[in-house]
Amino acid sequence: MDEPVTSVADLAAQATHLSPVLGRYFERSWSHGIGHRLYDTAGTPYLDFANGIAVTALGHAHPRVTAAIHAQADRLIGPTGAIGYSEPVVTLARMLANTFPDPIDTVMFLNSGSEAIDGALKLARRVTGRPGIVAFRGGFHGRTFGATSVTTSNINYRTGYEPLLPGVYFAPFPAVYRDFGGDEAQATASCLRTLTSLFETVIAPSSVAAVVIEPVQGEGGYTPAPAAFLQGLRALCDEHGILLIADEVQTGYARTGRMWAFEHAGIVPDIVAVAKAIANGLPLAAIATRRELQERWGRGAHGSTYGGNPVACAAGIAVLDTIADEDLVANAARRGKELTAGLIRLQAEDDRIGDVRGPGLMVGVEFVHNGTSGEPDGDLATALVARSAELGLLVLSCGLAHQVVRWIAPLDVSSAEISEAIEIFGEALWTV
């Protein structure tokens, strides 16, 4: 066996057999994580406000999650879904279903967010008998074929793959800051009007199976949909018998200060796609609906070899237990207010910060060339991500021009860690 690599540069240099297709935010080599710190192979710690893009929501090597993984690995590792039942899978399904409002009560486990979106689209088409799918510009739903077909957050994700899934139509997302000068009412009215026009001129609503939306766009810029827009969308779907799919892959699991982001609008979707934080790092995802929909989907209409792996589900049980026992939904809301307040203080001192937005611990900071032009400045945001890492803080970028720095702090983050992160980011701002 080769000697372990201790140099940050050496490990990257040895990665010649890894595909160059995968994009990376950092050319660093990681060794281990403890709590909210990620360590590179040189032993340097970084305050991790990236969390594998909202995956390790309880931080690294969480004792409760790690103990559950070890205990289950000693009993049963292999998937059992196609041949019967195992206790952690059944238990997690019940626990996850109980986090949703009525009538959502039934869960199908899969492996990833992309797979959950693909399954949700298949479910919608099959049970409605309709071909059309409506998605929103700027949305990111994944990299598999169906998920790519409803994704428009970056043209590179679609280029060279056409023709994609047929019957997909796009409507404008109510990006309040970027497209409507901060006017939520105008954004809501305009985008609902355009969606209605789509039904009048392009595809009849009677031919639409589903509308899929992120309550807060992730990759597209950490842009929340106004509550009034989601309420209007729910009403429009009800009027025409269209299923509403909420992509909660990044927004779910307390991320926005509610267990599910759609709760901020007081609506209930028909289908919810879940992944990322569900097992704190192990691959797991789910589709959640009312039982009647999955009964109509039909036995054998969809499946997954690895979905609902017992070890991943044991981790998932520990995640939900920790969220409940430590009141992390409320913690995300409280710490999110502190984070937003600190970033707004920085905005008051730097007109390159055009907007600070997002609920809970899903906060985006949009950078512009100056406060009056509003022209997105992706180069600055990219430089700030790099400089913050040099100073010991991991944050990521997003948005069409990569002009938004996204903050994805752990759900159990402390006030002290919020203050530390803001101080580091402030130093990065002053030196870039």
Tokens of 3: 């000697």
pLDDT digits 0-9 by tens, 21-60: 888 888 888 999 999 999 999 999 999 999 999 999 999 9
Per-residue pLDDT, 7 = 61
How many CB atoms sit inside 10 A of residue 421's CB? 25
Which of 329, 353, 268, 274 has the alpha carbon at shortest distance from 108?
A: 274
Per-residue pLDDT, 379 = 97
- Please give the span between the terminal C-alpha atoms of the chain, in angstroms, as a whole number: 43
Written as one letter, the residue type at 93 is A
Written as one letter, the residue type at 160 is G
Beta bridge partners of 405: 365, 397
Q: What's the rounded Cα separation, in Å, for the pair 383 and 140?
A: 23
Per-residue pLDDT, 180 = 96
With tokens 């400089």, the residue in question is 387
- What pTM was estimated for this model as a whole? 0.96
3-state DSSP call for residue 263? helix
Which of 163, 164, 115 has the alpha carbon at shortest distance from 302?
A: 115
Beta bridge partners of 168: 133
Q: What's the rounded Cα separation, in Å, for the pair 178 and 423?
A: 27
Per-residue pLDDT, 1 = 43
Tokens of 295: 């009964």
pLDDT-flagged residues of the chain (< 50): 1, 5
pLDDT above 70: percentage of residues in the chain: 97
Per-residue pLDDT, 132 = 98
Cis peptide before 103 (omega within 30 of 0): yes
DSSP 62-79: -HHHHHHHHHHHTT--S-
Q: What's the rounded Cα separation, in Å, for the pair 295 and 287?
A: 13
Q: What's the rounded Cα separation, in Å, for the pair 384 and 367?
A: 10
Per-residue pLDDT, 16 = 85
DSSP state of 368: B
CB 399 within 8 A of CB 366: yes
Per-residue pLDDT, 2 = 52
Per-residue pLDDT, 20 = 87
Q: What's the rounded Cα separation, in Å, for the pair 417 and 243?
A: 41
Q: What's the rounded Cα separation, in Å, for the pair 356 and 41?
A: 34
CA angle 42, 55, 252 (to 5 degrees): 155
CB 148 within 8 A of CB 164: yes
Tokens of 200: 């009048």
Residues 13-30 as b/e (b if ≥16 CB within 10 A, e otherwise) read eeeeeeeeeeeeebebbe
Q: What's the rounded Cα separation, in Å, for the pair 286 and 100?
A: 13
Name, in order, each residue with C-beta under 8 angstroms of 130's C-beta and a sequence gap of 6 or more: 124, 206, 207, 208, 209
With tokens 């901060």, the residue in question is 182
Q: What's the rounded Cα separation, in Å, for the pair 260 and 101?
A: 10
